[in-house]
Amino acid sequence: MLLKKSPYLKVALLALFVMLLPLLALGGAAEAGPVPKANCGPNDRVETALQGQTTLADRLSGQSERAYNCNLELVGQFQGEGSKWQLASFDDCAYYGQFNHFNNP
C-alpha cells in the first residue's frame, strides 16, 4: 500500500538495494585469515606469553616493566621536543612553542 502511494519510496529502496549489492557480493571475501607471526630482530624484546599478556615470571622478575619491541623500528625522531607546549593563533597565523620544563621550571 505504501509503495503505491509514494514513488519516492520505491526509488529510495531501489537505491539502497543497489548500494548494498556490492557488500552482499563480497560475502566472506573480507576475511583474509590470521595475521602471520611477526619477524623479530636479534635485539628485540619478545613477549613470552600471548600478545598483550605477561607471565607471572616476567612480572616477578621485573622484565615486564621494560618495553617489548618485536617488529618495531625507529625510523625518525625529532630531537629537542619539549615536555610543555603552547599554541597561540590570530587570524591566519599560528605560533607553536615548546620547552622542556626539566631545564626551565
What average pLDDT score do residues 65-89 get?
76
In whole angstroms, what is the distance from residue 27 CA to residue 36 CA?
Answer: 23
Average pLDDT of every residue of the chain: 75
User: What are the CA-CA distances from residue 47 to residues 12, 23, 54, 72, 75 (Å)?
Assistant: 52, 38, 7, 13, 22
* Residue boundaries of the structural domains of the chain: 81-105
Write out pLDDT tens, residues 45-57.
888 888 788 899 9
In whole angstroms, what is the distance from residue 18 CA to residue 88 CA?
Answer: 49
Q: Which of 38-42, 67-71, 92-96 has the lowest mean pLDDT?
A: 92-96
Give yes or no for residue 20 having a pLDDT over 80: no
pTM tops 0.85, yes or no: no
Q: What is the pLDDT of residue 4?
A: 58
